[in-house]
Every structure is written in C-alpha cells, then in structure tokens.
Amino acid sequence: MSMVVIGIDPHKSSHTAVAVDHNGRKLAQKTVKTDAGGILALWRWAAALASAQVLWAVEDGRGLAGRLVRTLIGHGAEVVWVPPKLMAQCRASARTRGKSDPIDALAVARAALREPDLPTAHLDQTALDLRLLTDRRESLVTRRTAVINALRWHLHDLDPALDTGTAKLTGPRTLATLTTALHALPDSVRRHLALDLVAEISALNKHIGRYERHLADLITPIAPTLLAIVGVSTVTAAKIIGETAGISRFRSSAAFAMHAGTAPIPVWSSGKTQFRLNRGGNRQLNTCLHRIAITQLAHHPPARDYRDRWTTTRPHATTKAALRALKRHLTNTIYRAMTTDATLQQDQLNQAA
C-alpha cells in the first residue's frame, strides 16, 4: 500500500500542512486555525486526500502542536516528531528557495520520508505533566537568579560585605540574616529596594520548593530504577521522563541516544578514527545527561574508572571526548532504567486490572 506523508508546520495561530507521496512529491497543502474547528477541517482534508496509509509528521516545536498531536492520536493516527534541525537540513537541500510555512511543512514531510526511524508520538499524560511542571520550575529559578543579580548590585553599593554570592543568597538563613543587616543600615531608597528584592527571593524560594515537592510526589513511585542512578535527582528524573515522553517510542538505546544528542558523529577520512560533538537531538535531555556525567565524575568511582579506561585505550583522546563517551554510556544506563520502570508500571496496571 502506498503511503502519504503529511508534514505539519505548527504555529500559535495556524497549522500549515503539506501532503507528499512516497517519493516526496508534493500533492496538496492546507492551512487551518489551531482551534477545534481547524483541526477537524485538517482531519477531513487528509481523509479526502487519499485512501492510502497516512503518516503525520509534525515539527517538534515546544508546546505548539500538543493539542493537534493529542487529537490526531486520539483518532488513531500515526504521528512522528521531526526535530527542527532535521527539517532545516531538508529545506536547505531542496530546490525551493526561501522560507515560508508551506516550504517548512514540505521539508517536515520529506524529512519523515528520509528518516523512517523517527520516534512516534503517543499519549502520555504523566510525561506531559512532568514537562509542564519542570518548565515552570525552571522559569522560576531563572527569575530568582535575575532577582539575586539585581540584589547583589544594591548590596555592593550599600555594603560589599553583605554580598555572600549567588549560591548562598538562596538560603533562608542567609536571607534572614541579610534582612536584619539591611534594617540596621541608614534609611535610603536603595535599602528599601534591597529589602523588597530579598522578600521576592524568599517568595520565589517557596514557589520553587512547592513545585519540587510536587515533582517528587509524582516521580518517586514511577521511576525507582531511574532514581537509583547516581546523580539523578527527582528534578532531573522528572526532566528526563518529561522530555523523553515515553521510552517505548524508541526501538533501542541507540535510537534513544540519537534523540538525546549523545550518539557519536563520525568525522574522519583515511585511517584515523575520530568523532565530534553531536549538536543535534533534544538539548534539554542532553543537558540532563551532562549534569549526571559531571556529578558521577565527582562522586562515583565507577564513572571515573570508565573515563580512565576509555582514555588509556585511545592515545589521542581528549578530556571532552572522554566526557562525551561517558554521556553515551550513561544514555544506555538510563534507557535500561526507564525501560525497567515502564515494565514495572505495566505489570502493576495488569495486576490491578
């Protein structure tokens, strides 16, 4: 049976779809609104387009296509996520010049044809909840850092001795001591601003702590194997599960490594084997793996042993290359842990049924 691939370029107010045949030839295009009526019109357009097997390929824009994808999967459609970088590469290699929504949607569809092993999308409300909560927590942490930076400028002018550094200014005891010291200073506008910023930091600490406790309550029962890995905190585990959106989407640890951006990229000719940094994949997930690797190198002797063994067998290996090798090794470990946790969850559901 021939296949029709529909590429979607999602936006906040509209979705542009382009259908191609199995050779990548453009068949039709349609732009709809992102509301329920627009998604229904898109579904009817696709149904009338062809009776062949339809594959929906959606550019992985963060949060822009969530409602669309959930609706498509709910109707039994097969949906794959296409990384933006992969779409951009297909657009650059096409004959069509320029950039527009139809051009991008066409590139998404052709990228899905070119890469048949892209991870499929599926409904996972727990992963979505974790992703939303971790995103909210990270935005609060970023906001707190900005407030701390503003506070430090005021403290430097009032009394440099009061500035204990960014890390310590998040602690409640330090903030309480700082509040007392600021009240002892002569009255001024700068002092009032500093006190206001201290109060804002304290409020942000409470909000961040509340989200972290919520994440811990959600992640602890569903990821015991993942949490047992050295360097994986509840926040990191929640981030990994939220960004992965279902480990069963990946057929192997190698496919998961491509998604995480830890798969090695060969860059050699002649006889000297070399690999470079993989700048593709999900960079949020890659950041989690980098954080775990750094933590394990500091506190986990087996990780240091692995790095040392890897380095000694490669005379020209660099420190950065060894770190990339460790991240690739950790990707396998995390893949197995998440697969184990997913199996345990499924067994519990089967027993409950």
Spell out where 11-153 has E strands.
14-20, 26-33, 53-59, 78-82
Question: 99 pLDDT band (50/70/90 cuts)?
Answer: confident
Q: What is the pLDDT of residue 85?
A: 78
More confident residue, 200 or 70: 200
Q: Which two tokens stand for residue 148?
A: 């701390």
Give the mean model confidence (pLDDT) for residues 247-256: 87
Residue with tokens 């992102």: 34
Q: Which two tokens stand for residue 291?
A: 């954080």
More confident residue, 314 or 34: 34
Q: How many angstroms separate the CA atoms of 17 and 335, rounded?
A: 33
- Of 37-51, 101-115, 176-190, which has the strongest mean pLDDT? 176-190
Q: How many angstroms separate the CA atoms of 36 and 75, rounded?
A: 13
Tell me how crowded residue 108 is: count the other CB atoms within 10 A of its CB.
33
Mean pLDDT score of the chain, rounded to an integer?
88
Number of helical H runs and strand E runs in the chain = 13, 7
Give the mean model confidence (pLDDT) for residues 86-101: 76
Angle at which helix 66-74 crosses helix 36-49, to 10 degrees, equals 50
Q: What pTM did the predictor assign? A: 0.78
Q: What is the pLDDT of residue 287?
A: 93
Residue 1 has pLDDT above 60, yes or no: no
Question: 114 pLDDT band (50/70/90 cuts)?
Answer: confident
Please classify residue 153 by burial: count the beta carbons closer than 10 Å to its beta carbon, then call 0-12 exposed, 13-18 middle and 19+ buried. Answer: middle
Q: What is the pLDDT of residue 95?
A: 67
Q: What is the pLDDT of residue 151?
A: 95
Residue 312 has pLDDT above 70, yes or no: yes
Question: 6 pLDDT band (50/70/90 cuts)?
Answer: very high
CB 199 within 8 A of CB 176: no
> Which of 59-68, 180-189, 257-266, 337-346 is predicted with the least confidence, judged by mean pLDDT?
59-68
More confident residue, 49 or 322: 322
Q: What is the pLDDT of residue 81?
A: 83
